[in-house]
């Protein structure tokens, strides 16, 4: 903190003295337009026939002081739910869009793919402060327009960094709240130097003790940029990094045997108990408590941590040679390295780590062990887009060339049986039990065109070709039984190629405040790494395909607006877990021939007074598997038209916004209907519906003169009615005779929390 303040004050002094530097007037609108060219290729055009939500800079700026990860902001738009493992919105965070998981949601930053090429995920664990760096976000639900990177099966999210500031500024922010959660940051811009150059930067971080025990963590991000502005072009280099060390709770909250709901677990006083830290035991009064795991010297196991560092480098050039033509090219390189460290208690060392040691009775030795599993990632590529636009045509073409090289590795750093440590550990005090390399090449090209005719009609076509090649080899972190009864590492030998053609077409009509549209889109998607590595010797899943039909109408009046978007997404060979386990004990995934998601997304808003507005949105849906076989041991359960897991039929958001002079206050109530934790549609394995309310308030004091320009005070009150509920969960099922058993785990939301913040702008 001291270091941040010193840097910030130095920047302030520099900015105040900058009048001595030569500057010229710059067309700020032109700067903003050139910045928008960077993301134009991956965003839907104004009249595109898709369901779109836009988040502007002011909303991102306000959200950045909360410390929460961006999915919590996205979930204010239709059809999205978000949750974090620690229960308060920081640290390891996830989202689903139209019921689709994060690996099926395409995310780009300034047109560069952010999804991890292998897992196809964006890990929202160290990106909480990106909100302070962004100028806008566009969320496209469904397949949407062509974008770079992985196929969008639930939707796509386009993040755009803010345009370089031609006027100097500096800003300091600080927030503090419940569970010792803090968020702090600084940002600045030199403004225009020497008529052409802008240097800007930012640093933000968040830390918390977490609602769930053992989820203490710290994460953050930094940004540094150089921009050269010409008359009709800009060259910009951006270095964006993020880091995290967060406590994990991936076992979720699980109660003692016999508990059936998170509410029951919470009422027992165990609602924050993280079973990665210990086991349930009873005290002398018969009450359950969590007894911590310990090392052999009696020291308690602290926590399971995830540790990751990532650095993005983007060098882009944007050129507008004429009124109708624009070009954008970007070279990018991303480096990532991380690991997680956790304790496995009383596990067979042979089954888990390939250490085939037996006791005197001939049984494999079980012991506690600490494992460290990590990876290294390198992704680099080229993005190029060209756009032509006049009164009738808006045509964009582009290519995306990306190569990924990665490695996966795992070590044991502790075994409770000291003799085995001495036997197997190397001179560095660890034992390597797996090591594999991976390569993925992702090349795509697209052209999309919108044509306006008869003043009000617009037709749209979008054609994309994508080639994906994935290879991985080496030793996996799973072990199989050999003919001698010992366990040996599973060898990986994957070499798959995919060629996808993804066409899209639509039509829209606009007249005054009216807009109506219809579209059909086709998208394909390759399996994730886990679909290969966890299937053991079973066949790998095949590609998935979805056909997305969208039909919508919107009206915007003087002080109100309303809209409805209908969709039907028909999946072919959707990959899903079946309940089976492979010969290495992992959950098997397979292609389900027919499934679908259908629904309507509603939006409305009314501003009866200049200082008061009411907003709302709703996503109502059905999400079905037409024919599904669930395997649990020797039992096979067949379901006709069962509901897809983690797909609530109703997600509602309501907002009441009061704004007068410098004061702003927003009331937000969110409702999520019940959802099932597997595909059986059983009431015994569901998460109950929940509703919760937040209030956000702020007051801005504007000042004049060189130095401090404004002071903004804010207060965030979350879950004001102190509701305790589970946002997400999982089920582990088995049969005892003919009786099905279930073991449920829950991701809880914290009760009432609050965060106060202050922002100083110079």
Task: Give the pLDDT confidence score for residue 14 in this predicted structure.
Answer: 44
Number of domains in the chain: 1
The 3 state secondary structure assigned to 179-213 is HHEEEEEEEEECCCECCCEEEEEEEEEEEECCCCC
Task: Give the pLDDT confidence score for residue 435 in this predicted structure.
Answer: 96
| Per-residue pLDDT band at 286 (split at 50, 70, 90) | confident
| Per-residue pLDDT band at 151 (split at 50, 70, 90) | confident
Q: Is residue 281 part of a domain?
A: no
Q: Is residue 679 part of a domain?
A: yes
Task: Give the pLDDT confidence score for residue 432 in this predicted structure.
Answer: 96
Of the listed ranges 167-181, 524-538, 579-593, the least confidently predicted one is 579-593
Write the pLDDT tens digit of every residue in 226-249. 999 998 999 999 999 999 999 999
Write the pLDDT tens digit of every residue in 574-610. 887 665 555 544 556 778 888 999 999 999 999 999 9
Query: What phi and psi, each to the nearest 5 degrees, are found at residue 420?
Result: -70, -35
Q: Is residue 573 part of a domain?
A: yes
Task: Give the pLDDT confidence score for residue 634 in this predicted structure.
Answer: 79
The yes-or-no verdict on residue 679 having pLDDT over 70 is yes
| Per-residue pLDDT band at 23 (split at 50, 70, 90) | very low
- % of the chain residues with pLDDT over 70: 94
pLDDT, greater one: 258 or 163: 163
Which residue is listed with tokens 């949407």? 144
With b for 16 or more beta-carbon neighbours within 10 A and e for fewer, the 368-381 pattern comes to bbbbbbbbebebeb
Task: Give the pLDDT confidence score for residue 5 in this predicted structure.
Answer: 46
DSSP-derived secondary structure for 455-518: TTEEEEEEEEEEEEEEEEEEEEEEEEE-TTS-EEEEEEEEEEEEEEEEEEEEEEEEETTEEEEE
The SS3 assignment for 250 reads coil
Domain at 206, CATH number: 2.40.170.20
Write the pLDDT tens digit of every residue in 72-113. 999 999 999 999 999 999 988 999 999 998 889 999 999 999
The yes-or-no verdict on residue 560 having pLDDT over 70 is yes
Task: Give the pLDDT confidence score for residue 33 in this predicted structure.
Answer: 78
The yes-or-no verdict on residue 16 having pLDDT over 60 is no
State the Cα–Cα distance between residues 567 and 518, nearest whole angstrom. Answer: 10
Q: Is residue 400 part of a domain?
A: yes
Write the pLDDT tens digit of every residue in 24-74. 456 677 787 788 888 888 888 888 899 999 999 999 999 999 989 999 999
Task: Give the pLDDT confidence score for residue 161 in this predicted structure.
Answer: 92
Task: Give the pLDDT confidence score for residue 581 in this predicted structure.
Answer: 54
| Per-residue pLDDT band at 572 (split at 50, 70, 90) | very high
- % of the chain residues with pLDDT over 90: 71
The yes-or-no verdict on residue 18 having pLDDT over 50 is no
Q: Is residue 256 part of a domain?
A: no
Q: Is residue 270 part of a domain?
A: no
pLDDT, greater one: 142 or 633: 142
State the Cα–Cα distance between residues 433 and 425, nearest whole angstrom. Answer: 11
Q: Is residue 240 part of a domain?
A: yes
Sign of CA dihedral 141, 144, 146, 150: positive
Q: Is residue 183 part of a domain?
A: yes
- The alpha carbon of 361 is separated from its chain's Cα centroid by a whole number of angstroms, namely 49
Task: Give the pLDDT confidence score for residue 287 in this predicted structure.
Answer: 86
Task: Give the pLDDT confidence score for residue 536 in this predicted structure.
Answer: 63
Task: Give the pLDDT confidence score for residue 598 in this predicted structure.
Answer: 97
Exposed, middle or buried: residue 81 (CB in 10 Å: 0-12, 13-18, 19+)? buried
CB 556 within 8 A of CB 540: no
Mean of pLDDT values over 402-430: 95
Task: Give the pLDDT confidence score for residue 22 in this predicted structure.
Answer: 37
| Per-residue pLDDT band at 123 (split at 50, 70, 90) | confident
Structural domain including 585 reads 2-250+304-364+372-432+443-486+495-556+569-734+742-761
């Amino acid at each position: 903190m001291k270091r941040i303040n010193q840097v910030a004050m130095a920047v302030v002094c520099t900015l105040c003295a900058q009048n001595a530097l030569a500057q010229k007037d710059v067309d700020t609108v032109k700067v903003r337009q050139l910045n928008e060219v960077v993301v134009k290729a991956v965003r839907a055009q104004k009249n595109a026939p898709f369901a779109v939500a836009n988040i502007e800079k002011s909303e991102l700026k306000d959200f950045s002081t909360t410390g929460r990860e961006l999915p919590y902001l996205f979930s204010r738009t239709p059809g999205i739910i978000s949750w974090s493992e620690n229960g308060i919105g920081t640290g390891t965070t996830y989202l689903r869009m139209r019921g689709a998981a994060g690996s099926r949601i395409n995310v780009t930053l300034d047109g560069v793919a952010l999804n991890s090429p292998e897992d196809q995920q964006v890990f929202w664990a160290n990106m909480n402060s990106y909100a302070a760096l962004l100028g806008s976000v566009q969320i496209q639900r469904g397949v949407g327009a062509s974008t770079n990177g992985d196929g969008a099966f639930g939707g796509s999210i386009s993040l755009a960094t803010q345009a370089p500031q031609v006027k100097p500024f500096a800003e300091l922010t600080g927030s503090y709240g419940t569970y010792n959660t803090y968020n702090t940051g600084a940002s600045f811009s030199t403004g225009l130097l020497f008529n052409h150059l802008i240097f800007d930067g930012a640093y933000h971080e968040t830390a918390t003790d977490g609602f769930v025990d053992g989820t203490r963590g710290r994460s953050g991000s930094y940004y540094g940029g150089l921009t050269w502005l010409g008359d009709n072009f800009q060259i910009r280099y951006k270095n964006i990094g993020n880091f995290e060390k967060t406590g994990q709770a991936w076992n979720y909250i699980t109660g003692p045997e016999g508990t059936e709901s998170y509410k029951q677990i919470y009422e027992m006083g165990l609602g924050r108990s993280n079973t990665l830290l210990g086991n349930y035991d009873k005290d002398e009064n018969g009450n359950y408590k969590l007894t911590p795991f310990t090392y052999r010297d009696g020291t308690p196991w602290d926590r399971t941590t995830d540790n990751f560092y990532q650095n993005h480098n983007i060098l882009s050039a944007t050129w507008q040679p004429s009124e109708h033509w624009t070009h954008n090219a970007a070279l990018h390189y991303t480096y990532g390295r991380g690991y997680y460290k956790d304790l496995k208690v009383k596990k067979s060392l042979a089954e888990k780590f390939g250490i085939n040691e037996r006791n005197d009775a001939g049984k494999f030795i079980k012991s506690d062990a600490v494992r460290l599993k990590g990876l290294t990632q390198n992704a680099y590529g080229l993005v190029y887009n060209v756009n032509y636009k006049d009164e009738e045509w808006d045509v964009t073409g582009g290519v995306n060339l990306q190569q990924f090289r990665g490695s996966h590795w795992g070590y044991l750093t502790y075994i409770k049986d000291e003799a085995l440590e001495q036997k197997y550990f190397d001179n560095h005090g660890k034992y390597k039990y797996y090591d594999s390399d991976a390569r993925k090449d992702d090349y795509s090209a697209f052209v999309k065109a919108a044509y306006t005719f008869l003043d009000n009609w617009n037709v749209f076509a979008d054609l994309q070709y994508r080639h994906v090649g994935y290879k991985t080899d080496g030793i996996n972190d799973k072990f199989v039984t050999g003919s001698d009864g010992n366990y040996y590492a599973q060898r990986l030998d994957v070499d798959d190629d995919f060629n996808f053609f993804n066409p899209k077409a639509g039509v829209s009509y606009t007249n005054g405040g009216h807009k109506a549209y219809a579209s059909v889109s086709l998208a394909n998607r390759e399996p994730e790494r886990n679909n290969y590595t966890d299937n053991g010797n079973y066949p790998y899943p095949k590609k998935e395909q979805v056909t997305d039909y969208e039909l919508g109408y919107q009206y915007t009046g003087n002080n109100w607006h309303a809209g409805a978007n209908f969709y039907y997404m028909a999946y072919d060979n959707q990959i899903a877990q079946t309940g089976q386990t492979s010969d290495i004990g992992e959950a098997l995934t397979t292609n389900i021939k027919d499934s679908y998601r259908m629904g309507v997304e509603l939006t409305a808003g009314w501003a009866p007074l200049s200082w008061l507005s009411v907003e709302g949105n709703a996503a109502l849906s059905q999400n079905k598997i037409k024919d599904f076989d669930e395997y649990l041991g020797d039992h096979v359960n067949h379901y006709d038209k069962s509901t897809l897991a983690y797909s609530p039929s109703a997600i509602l958001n309501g907002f009441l916004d009061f704004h007068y002079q410098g004061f702003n206050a927003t009331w937000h109530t969110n409702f999520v209907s019940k959802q099932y934790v597997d595909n059986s549609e059983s009431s015994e394995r569901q998460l109950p519906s929940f509703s919760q309310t937040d209030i956000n308030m702020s007051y801005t004091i504007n000042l004049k003169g060189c130095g401090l320009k404004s002071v903004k005070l804010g207060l965030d009150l979350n879950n004001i009615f102190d509701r305790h509920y589970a946002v997400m969960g999982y089920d582990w099922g088995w049969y005892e005779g003919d009786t099905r058993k279930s073991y449920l785990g829950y991701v809880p939301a914290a009760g009432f929390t609050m965060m106060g913040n202050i922002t100083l702008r110079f």
